[in-house]
Amino acid sequence: MKLTEESVVKVLRNVIDPELGVDVVTMGMIKDLKVSNGIVSFTLELTTPACPYNEQITREVKKAVESIPGVKSVDMKVTARVSSAKRTLTNQVSLSGVKNVIAVASGKGGVGKSSIALNLALALAESGAKTGLLDADMYGPTIPKLLKDISFPQQVGDKILPAVGPLGIKVMSLGLLITDDTPVIWRGPLVANAVKQMFTEINWGELDYLIVDLPPGTGDASLTLAQSIPLSGVIIITTPQPVSVVIAMKALRMFEKLGVNILGIIENMSYYICKKCGEKAYIFGKGGGKLAASQAGVPFLGEVPLIPEIRIGSDEGDPVIISHPESEVATIFRSIAKNVAGRISMLSKVKRDE
């Protein structure tokens, strides 16, 4: 068979993205394919820089092309372009530059939403995705306290430019606009407005992922977000204890009822690793998050151990992914980020097929 662009495409139709179950040609991942004098050049466009299977797909695509008779060399560029998994309901704010808004929610307070939202945003940014982090906790905005290395938001024309944090993440929080410790007192409708304004009045620019850190429970901020903003999905955080899981499931059901995709469940404070013997101690019980995910029929995205570095990172404004990039917990956050990005790729594919 003569070596042509068509014959290369035919071979590449056999390389399947393991996560999406679809071949790389049908997924539109092969761009600018040229064949000349036995040299095959093309760009492989992955669905997210944080895909868990990127290395495998890249390897398989290269191997498949190299094995075609007559191929002397393969000139392959690899890029990534995140697609949108937004689900737009009626009367929602339109967000043109932001491809995916991902909410981080919980039933109970203090389970680690803000810590996880921040480290997740940083892990996605580290993978090369354009990432933002919005603190939607209007009563107790905490994100600025968790990040010492952050600029101030700027007013440009009638819009506000978000602050910029480590790894270039764009950050917005009420805590960056009001600087003293006066408690914020406002009633439901005002909270709803403030949440909406975080999208309409802030110039987020182009983002692959905007992570939204919610206050606990199913209050005004969560409701407004689910109803007014086209979300790609929500991540539910729980600790292993049954009380936390039961309330987390209530939050999950609320988002489901409102038509929001559930990206999955993350269990935080899953176990403590003994510094002396390295054993895992399951202080709050074992497997609550996993069980909840299987009961709700949603993916389990990972478990984060209870470790002092996370608490110290929060207190010192130096998130663990930045302060301890080589640590096991940083690796865990990167793997959770890959699971989330993979899930978004999958949902955006389902959306395109609809």
Ligand X SMILES: Nc1ncnc2c1ncn2[C@@H]1O[C@H](COP(=O)(O)OP(=O)(O)OP(=O)(O)O)[C@@H](O)[C@H]1O
Chain residues that interact with ligand X, rule: CB under 6 A: 106, 109-115, 137, 142, 215-216, 268-269, 304, 306-307, 310-311, 314
CB of 173 closer than 8 Å to CB of 190: no
Least distance in angstroms from the C-beta of 261 to Mg ion: 22
Residue from 41, 36, 28, 93 nearest 345 by CA: 28
83 binding partner (options ligand X, Mg ion, none; Cβ < 5 to 8 Å by kind): none
Least distance in angstroms from the C-beta of 213 to Mg ion: 6
Residue from 4, 19, 9 nearest 299 by CA: 19
269 binding partner (options Mg ion, ligand X, none; Cβ < 5 to 8 Å by kind): ligand X
Let me know if 275 is exposed, middle or buried by CB neighbors in 10 A (0-12, 13-18, 19+).
exposed
Identified binder of Mg ion from the candidate list 54, 84, 100, 114, rule CB under 5 A: 114
Is the Cβ of residue 40 or residue 211 nearer to Mg ion in the bound state? 211
Sequence-distant (≥ 6) Cβ neighbours of residue 43 within 8 angstroms = 30, 31, 32, 76, 77, 78, 79
How many Cα atoms within 13 Å fall on the side-chain side of residue 162? 26
The span of 65-73, 110-118, 198-206, 248-256 binding Mg ion (CB under 5 A) equals: 110-118
Is the Cβ of residue 70 or residue 308 nearer to ligand X in the bound state? 308
Site for Mg ion in 132-151 (CB under 5 A): 142
Is the Cβ of residue 70 or residue 110 nearer to ligand X in the bound state? 110
239 binding partner (options Mg ion, ligand X, none; Cβ < 5 to 8 Å by kind): none
268 is a contact residue toward Mg ion (CB under 5 A): no
# residues near Mg ion by CB under 5 A: 3
302 binding partner (options Mg ion, ligand X, none; Cβ < 5 to 8 Å by kind): none
47 binding partner (options Mg ion, ligand X, none; Cβ < 5 to 8 Å by kind): none
CB atoms within 10 A of CB 197: 12
Distance CA 90, CA 212 (A): 21
Least distance in angstroms from the C-beta of 353 to ligand X: 35
Is the Cβ of residue 60 or residue 135 nearer to Mg ion in the bound state? 135
Three-state SS for 171-228 is EEEHHHCCCCCCCCCCCHHHHHHHHHHHHHCECCCCEEEEEEECCCCCCHHHHHHHHH
260 binding partner (options Mg ion, ligand X, none; Cβ < 5 to 8 Å by kind): none
239 is a contact residue toward Mg ion (CB under 5 A): no
CB atoms within 10 A of CB 352: 12
CB of 348 closer than 8 Å to CB of 47: yes
170 binding partner (options Mg ion, ligand X, none; Cβ < 5 to 8 Å by kind): none
CA 189, distance to chain mean position in Å, is 28
Is the Cβ of residue 115 or residue 222 nearer to ligand X in the bound state? 115
Binding site for Mg ion (CB under 5 A): 113-114, 142
